[in-house]
Amino acid sequence: MKKYIPATTRYNTMPYRRCGNSGLLLPEISLGLWHNFGHVDNLDAAKQILHTSFDHGITHFDLANNYGPPSGSAEENFGNILKQGLGSYRDELIISTKAGYRMWPGPYGEWGSKKYLVASLDQSLNRMGLDYVDIFYHHRPDPNTPLEETMTALDLIVRQGKALYVGISSYNAEDTLKASIILKELGTPCLIHQPRYSMMDRWVENGLMEVLGDEGIGCIPFSPLEQGILTNKYLKGIPKDSRAAKSTGFLKKDQVNETVIEKVRKLNEIALKRDQSLAQMAVAWLLKDKRVTSVLVGVSSEEQLLDNLGALKNTNFNETELLDIERVLKE
């Protein structure tokens, strides 16, 4: 097997942004391993995507205990790819994982207890062959566990040296503020919040972004391309190898309906006038907000990755473009 040697030019073009008030810089585009890195996927393609990402300055890779399928297999495959060469650059990588969703049977296999979070991170480290992750997230709010317990578990994990920073995902504005206050008191400030955010899904604009700005917490939007809808791939129907067509994908065929695609067609025209692909415009649109630290994309091929990286050539929007986008979205 040929040893992986990263490009010497890897830091030449990628801009890095400070994550909230922390000391950590993240690339404007990060790569998520939710789909396309499980045991059901093509691992040569997965390895190529990771290597090409790092070659272009993507230093941040986002995982979770349940990514696959089957659950856990994305971490296992990522661990193997690290062992085959990329892992020699561990000090240049920011690796995150999460716990929150169902991982094993019984009462301790999901949600936000200290029991579950500590055990899950130990399992993740084992699967990836790592001593520590850079960021550990609570993956979803738990309505039944006291927030103090979940936040104390995050603080404990950092004190144990198993994670350097902690984050939360999909917490609403009110709970984010509460979590942030508890974590600051514990001495482990919340580094980052990972919400679902795209041109088509704007819930974060209803209070969450203000809290993140005020509290000095970074923001890394997930599903920025609406799982592929905000690209040109569904303009002529549903391709066989697309997420919407795959039985293992989380995008359902009925989400790619004519009403949605009509908007996508119009957004695509705006993107073309900007000399961008729609995927590039969707990434750039998120980066116009300086509270967004990094945009967390998923890709099923190296071509998609390179297309998305092209977004960084133009992240400025004029007033007319922004109004045109809003008009299409509200139609």
Ligand X SMILES: NC(=O)c1ccc[n+]([C@@H]2O[C@H](COP(=O)([O-])OP(=O)(O)OC[C@H]3O[C@@H](n4cnc5c(N)ncnc54)[C@H](OP(=O)(O)O)[C@@H]3O)[C@@H](O)[C@H]2O)c1
Q: Which stretches of the chain bind ligand X, using CB under 6 A?
A: 32-36, 62, 139, 169-170, 194, 222-228, 231, 233, 242-243, 279, 296-300, 304, 307-308
CB of 149 to ligand X, least distance (A): 20
* Residue 193 near residue 229, CB atoms below 8 Å: no
Least Å distance, CB 246 to ligand X, is 7
Q: How far is the CB of 202 from ligand X (least distance, A)?
A: 15
| CB of 88 or CB of 238, closer to ligand X | 238
147 versus 299: smaller Cβ distance to ligand X: 299
**Which of the 8 DSSP states describes residue 222?**
B
User: Do 214 and 240 meet the contact criterion of CB atoms below 8 Å apart?
Assistant: no
Residue 33 or 163: the one with the smaller Cβ distance to ligand X is 33
d(C-alpha 164, C-alpha 159), whole Å:
9
Tell me whether residue 76 or residue 307 sits nearer to ligand X (CB atom). 307
Give min distance, CB of 3 to ligand X, in A.
27
- For CA atoms 99, 96, 288, 275, the dihedral sign is negative
Min CB(161)–ligand X separation in Å? 24
Tell me the C-alpha distance between 16 and 224, whole Å: 18
The residues with which 32 forms a beta bridge, in sequence order, are: 62
Q: How far is the CB of 298 from ligand X (least distance, A)?
A: 2
For CA atoms 134, 26, 299, 80, the dihedral sign is: negative
Token representation of residue 36: 């396309």
What are the start-end ranges of the H helices in the chain?
Answer: 43-55, 73-83, 114-128, 147-159, 173-186, 208-215, 258-273, 278-287, 302-309, 319-330
Going by their DSSP bridges, the two strands 163-169 and 133-138 should be labelled as parallel
